[in-house]
Structure 1
Amino acid sequence: MVTPNTLPPNTNSDDDESSPASVRAAPTSTLLLDAKRKSAFLPYRPQSTVLTNLQRGNTEATFCPVEVTLSFHERAGQGEITEDQVKTELGRHQNIDFKDAHDFTPLHWAASYGQLNSVQLLVSAGAKVNSLAPDLISPLLLAAAGGHNEIVRFLLERGAHSNHMDIVGNTALMYAAAGNHPHTCNELLARDLDFSATNENGETAYALAVEHGAHLAQALLEQYMTAILTAGTFGGI
């Protein structure tokens, strides 16, 4: 196995944007299976949420009392679940992979929003790392799309299928490459996955990085390809 070039240490997600404190939108698929689709690659990106003045903290709650009740799935996406809450939900549903109205599990929510602690609690409670949402979306694909490299590493260590494809053939590496998440790409490439895999449009991870102007991911993939060619050249001597 060719080991990709080591990147500078990174203990955070490739996505440096701060997570909103408001109720999050479900990690619903944006992939539309119709004749108008121009590309097989349409990333699964959680919708942004506009914060109100109250949610930003600009207005005191006493002047505008608002009660927001979050579901367990939403709390998992916010990173606000505890071990006791997980046990309670497990006892209530007999399965921690119970799905919301969009057929996403709590693990899908936590992986999509980069909540490592939630992911760890859920997996410890028996959440299946390869559970599928609509369009064959796995938690690994959502984590890779968001550049949450620590979660990607954790899921892979717990048996997530690195070469799993969504309904149109996109892999976790394709999502990470197109999203310009080099550390996430590095985690995936370390698993000796199929670098040449293509989606239904014949696009590879490298082609998607170029197409989406993902220069950091593109550079990493080029280094990886160079390492493979170099290893092959010296290996034949």
Structure 2
Amino acid sequence: MIDVQSLGVRFGSRRGHVDAVRGVSFQVETGEAFGLVGESGSGKTTVLRALCGLAPVSAGHATVGGHVLGSALPRAFRRDVQMVFQDPYGSLHPRFTVDRTLREPLAIAGSDRHDARIVDALHEVGLGPAFRFRYPHQLSGGQRQRVAIARALIVEPRVLLLDEPTSALDVSVQAEILNLLRRLHRERSLTIVLVSHNLAVVGFLCSRVAVMRNGEIVEQAGIDAVRARRVEHEYTRRMLEATDGYRRETAPG
């Protein structure tokens, strides 16, 4: 479903240019959940934005669902590939009701049965019809992210790109959203690319992971190998140690 070969993303700057992503290659099979992990500034979100056409491809080759990135993307691409952004407070229009937020992609895609689809989409993400005419400021962070997920799924995409979808939420709400995403992945056979700085989050949803540092992939591995710490790169080992968190040492005696 996704084939990325030697992908490069370059941005202009006052001093010339910055190569935010260099030589990134990976493949994602149809129906697979694939993770990209790394610290802030590693380039993982830039890769995700390139996959949905929001960042320029300066080098290499990438196809998503049969669509070639870097060329003029057809309307079908916008329906096949959807993205859920990190900040549920910033990704929803503050003056749009939930109904209008969900109706807009249906209109762009030329879909019919808008009212029925909106009700079904809300039900699928665990929100009742009472939420339909509320504004974002009337929703909690978790409810806003559920609306954002419903907006992405309402046009029935084949590929779902997730940019740190739980990092702005409380821990208990994070678990709810991750369980929702795992259920939707199984029920819809979605192809998912999840970006996160947290290996534990990626391990919950994904079967394979690529570790990024300074705009490059330093290692790819199955999630079982990561859990067993059968990793090769020192940076991956340090990320695993960071995921374990602080461990208090007990003084002898």
Normalising by structure 2, we get a TM-score of 0.33
